[in-house]
Amino acid sequence: MPVAVLLGLVIGSFLNVVIARVPEGRSVWRPRSACPGCGALIAWYDNVPLASFALLGGRCRRCRMAIPWRYPIVEAATGVAFAFAWGAFGPTPAFVAAALLLSMLIAVTAIDLAHQIIPDVVTLPGIALGMVAGLALGRPGVAIPLLGIPAGSPAGVVVDSVVGAAVGGGIFLVIILASGGGMGGGDMKLGAMLGAFLGWQLCLLALLLAVLGGGLVALVLLALGRRGRKDAIPFGPFLALGGTIALFQGETILAWYLERVAG
């Protein structure tokens, strides 16, 4: 697990570059990271996840400009997420698939909170990657007897991912068309990405959890006077939270529901 945490911290450092540059349409590969205040290039020893922020007191070494708290938060969150993924899946391809999904969800959450956008450069490749990652996650898939596709087969898992992407994106498409833009296209693509990774059943659970979480937070913000009825609230973070819960506990929640409620 320590290796997973260290890997998560490193990936989290890269995600900070993605979060800072993607909304501005800049390359995440070049040029090297530099202080936005004085333009000084950031040396490797000032770019060690978490440690450098603490040693520098959260400020640029040269100009003493404050470094946003987002940087250590994203690094720590990614390290914790990778630790949970390692605990759930161990050193398997499923860990790689889970880590990939969690990394994209962390990036989407930070970008949506800061800019109220969910970039296609994350979600569209994520839909394609989810089709492959679904095989690694060991989902049972769906059976299609007429086509000779049994449950648990690679073909059944791929079909499950395709159906999941259609369900996750289709629900938001219906909302967009019915409300005249009540939801954004970014939410639709993120829903499709979750469906590709998780399959249609866990995708529906993730969407339900997102709606419940988003509704609860909206009610609290309204009660506190922090938001008005017409103020937009980014929904991407709630989709990310719902997807994370579904990834780790979705099968358990569905089994409980079928046994205690539906059964």
Integer CA distances (angstroms), 195 to 42, 52, 231, in order:
38, 37, 28
pLDDT in tens, 182-209: 677 899 999 999 999 999 999 999 999 9
Give the separation between CA 25 and CA 115, rounded to whole angstroms.
13
Does 31 sit behind a cis peptide bond, omega within 30 degrees of 0 on the bond before it?
A: yes
Higher pLDDT among residues 172 and 227, named by residue? 172
Whether the Cβ atoms of residue 51 and residue 76 lie closer than 8 Å to each other = no
Whether the Cβ atoms of residue 139 and residue 195 lie closer than 8 Å to each other = no
Maximum distance among all alpha carbons in the chain? Answer: 68
pLDDT at 259: 76
pLDDT band at 254 (very low <50, low <70, confident <90, very high): confident
pLDDT in tens, 32-88: 888 888 888 999 899 999 999 999 999 999 999 999 999 999 999 999 999 999 999
Give the separation between CA 72 and CA 9, rounded to whole angstroms.
9
Burial class (CB in 10 A: 0-12, 13-18, 19+), 188: buried
pLDDT band at 150 (very low <50, low <70, confident <90, very high): low
Mean of the per-residue pLDDT values for the chain? 89
- Which residue reads 């967009």 in tokens? 176
Burial class (CB in 10 A: 0-12, 13-18, 19+), 216: exposed
Give the separation between CA 7 and CA 137, rounded to whole angstroms.
20
Give the separation between CA 173 and CA 144, rounded to whole angstroms.
26
- Which residue reads 């990405």 in tokens? 193
pLDDT in tens, 114-133: 999 999 999 999 999 998 88
